[in-house]
Structure 1
Amino acid sequence: MATTPATAPILFDRVLLGARLARAQAAGAATFLLERAMEDMADRLQAVSRSFSAAADVWTPGDGLADALRGRVATVDAIGFAEAEALGLPPESLDLVVSALAFQFVNDLPGVLAQLRRALKPDGLLLAAMLGGDTLTELRQSFAAAEAECEGGVSPRVAPFADLRDIGALLQRAGFALPVTDVDRVVVRYSNAFALMADLRRMGATNVLRERRHAPTRRATMLRMAQIYGERFADPDGRIRATFDIVWLSGWAPHESQPKPLKPGSAKASLEAAVKQAKR
């Protein structure tokens, strides 16, 4: 009996996400994290000693990253936000794909990575930054404690963020060679939790989970959340900390010129012999 392929769970309401991103852009978006990611992206690409002729910028908010690439890459396709995650990129049509602070809101990240892998020419590069790891851990803990205390239960409020090791495994699963992941941890200080939440709104990064509670949050719960946040995560001067982990991922479409791992058993000296030699 044939089995039906598993489909990715729909975690995010991308229609709502698009509306909130548009609202944030119209109102004057908070871009300090995005600017940091784009500056880091430029430095990382500068360290790559090769040229690129055709690139795509996938879902990065605004035009800044695509505009910066146009000074180095002959052709840049800026793929703006879309509710659907099917990119429709022709196979082996690109030698560079970049994305900044967009992949954290993708329902089917393995599927998107597989699409990008197919769109890259042999020896093409994917370089992306997304929020992950312990991002907003303080806010998550404070909301959970306040809801448990004031409402007798916890509802989904902050999106789940991918772990560094999980992202590395997804790159390998999608068929990328030489996968690399690392984290840039940014700790931002605010006067209080409400100032942090105002910045999240200006990023278009408020709750778009499909399973979110649709009823307005009780005022008592919000006040208690802010109080718990201040009690647990404030510095001596009273300002609170908010963690943002920018997870970087890179991988190459396989090519015969790339370094290959040694075959099992091909080593010419044993580890035991090397240890014994070092002890002499």
Structure 2
Amino acid sequence: MTPLLTDRTALTLHRARATALFLQEEAVFEVQDRLSEVNKTFTDARIVTGFPQVWQPYQTIPDAETLDLQPESLDLVVHAMALHWANDPVGQLVQCRRALRPDGLFLGLLFGGQTLHELRAALAQAEAEVTGGLSPRVLPMAEIRDLGGLLQRAGFALPVADSFAKTVLYRDAAHLMRDLRAMGEGNALHARLRRPTSRAVFDRAAQIYAQSFATAEGLIPATFEIITLTGWAPHETQQKPLRPGSAISRLEDALKVATKPS
């Protein structure tokens, strides 16, 4: 049996406490941009997300192991910034594929392998120096070169995987780790340590981070790589996805969702 990657109970608790959702909001803008470049109107859409408040007023479902989706019931499924926590990412993609009608569109957004590479390096070196070993601290994330293959395995046509990176500057490592908790992206690994970590590990990690990566102004950068997956449910008159470009219409217009007046 494949070991579990994610402790779903811990993940749910972390998300419930989240207050800093700027990267989730970035995903909304990215989807808006992508849909503005597709010559198609979507009328039956679902957003798979751990943060439904970000996607209001659209119809959302939780990123549970078994998704609440009916076969061939939708023309658009967006898996929004949750696939990196999936214990079975291929299974999630397969469920999304089955929920699409022919020529339906899938968009998936998730953190990629370059995410937090600075923090991972600093923590690994610090823990090795202080304790002589390593423990799971930062979620292992897929590389973009592997994700296109997952789309094909799930049965999508015209699979495309591309990425962009956002760099956020922080005062120090403690500031970054507090922000990760505020994002709901704290350590929810099933194999994580269940006892407190020595303060010496974090203090040494902060030193390494600053020495290795600090800017001239003394701030530390944190890289967040966001990978976007695009795939279509096969159809004989398949259209080809266009390159992402500048948004020219609102997401509400693309999904034909009526918003309530304030």
Same fold (TM over 0.5): yes
SS in 2 for 1:231: helix
Is this contact kept in 1: 2:61–2:68, CA < 8 A? Answer: no
CA 1:252/1:33 → structure 2, altered by over 3 Å: closer, same or farther?
same
1:10 equivalent to 2:4? Answer yes
1:224 equivalent to 2:214? Answer no
Question: Which amino acid counterpart does residue 131 of structure 2 have in structure 1?
Answer: E
SS in 1 for 2:52: coil
SS in 2 for 1:127: strand
Structure 2 residue corresponding to 1:201, chosen from 181, 195, 206: 181
Higher relative contact order (CA 8 A, sep 6+): 2
Q: State the partner residue of 1:251.
A: 231
Structure 2 residue corresponding to 1:90, chosen from 70, 73, 76: 70
Is this contact kept in 1: 2:110–2:226, CA < 8 A? Answer: yes
Q: Percent identity?
A: 51
Q: State the partner residue of 2:256.
A: none
Q: 1:60 Cα deviation (Å)?
A: 4.4
Larger-Rg structure = 1
Within 2, Cα distance between the matches of 1:187 and 1:52? 32
Q: Please, what TM-score do these two structures have when normalized by structure 1?
A: 0.83
Question: Which amino acid counterpart does residue 57 of structure 1 have in structure 2?
Answer: I
Is this contact kept in 2: 1:9–1:108, CA < 8 A? Answer: no
Mind listing any 5+ residue stretches in structure 2 that lack a counterpart?
241-262
Within 1, Cα distance between the matches of 2:206 and 2:237? 55
Q: Please, what TM-score do these two structures have when normalized by structure 2?
A: 0.88
Question: Which amino acid counterpart does residue 43 of structure 2 have in structure 1?
Answer: S
Q: State the partner residue of 1:37.
A: 27
- Offset from partner CA, 1:113-165 (integer Å, 9 cap, x none): 01111110000000121111210001100000000000010111000001101
Q: State the partner residue of 1:168.
A: 148
Q: State the partner residue of 2:14.
A: 20
1:139 equivalent to 2:133? Answer no
Within 2, Cα distance between the matches of 1:223 and 1:88? 44
Q: In the TM superposition, what are the counterparts of 1:241-280 in structure 2 within 5 Å?
A: 241-258=221-238
Within 2, Cα distance between the matches of 1:64 and 1:150? 40
Question: Which amino acid counterpart does residue 165 of structure 1 have in structure 2?
Answer: R
Mind listing any 5+ residue stretches in structure 1 that lack a counterpart?
1-6, 71-76, 261-280
Within 2, Cα distance between the matches of 1:63 and 1:47? 25
Question: Which amino acid counterpart does residue 206 of structure 1 have in structure 2?
Answer: G
Q: State the partner residue of 1:80.
A: 62
CA 1:246/1:114 → structure 2, altered by over 3 Å: closer, same or farther?
same
* Superposition CA RMSD, Å: 1.4
CA 1:161/1:177 → structure 2, altered by over 3 Å: closer, same or farther?
same
Within 1, Cα distance between the matches of 2:50 and 2:164? 18
1:213 equivalent to 2:193? Answer yes
Within 2, Cα distance between the matches of 1:182 and 1:251? 12
Question: Which amino acid counterpart does residue 17 of structure 1 have in structure 2?
Answer: L
Q: State the partner residue of 1:47.
A: 37
Within 2, Cα distance between the matches of 1:257 and 1:167? 25
CA 1:127/1:66 → structure 2, altered by over 3 Å: closer, same or farther?
farther
Within 1, Cα distance between the matches of 2:173 and 2:54? 29
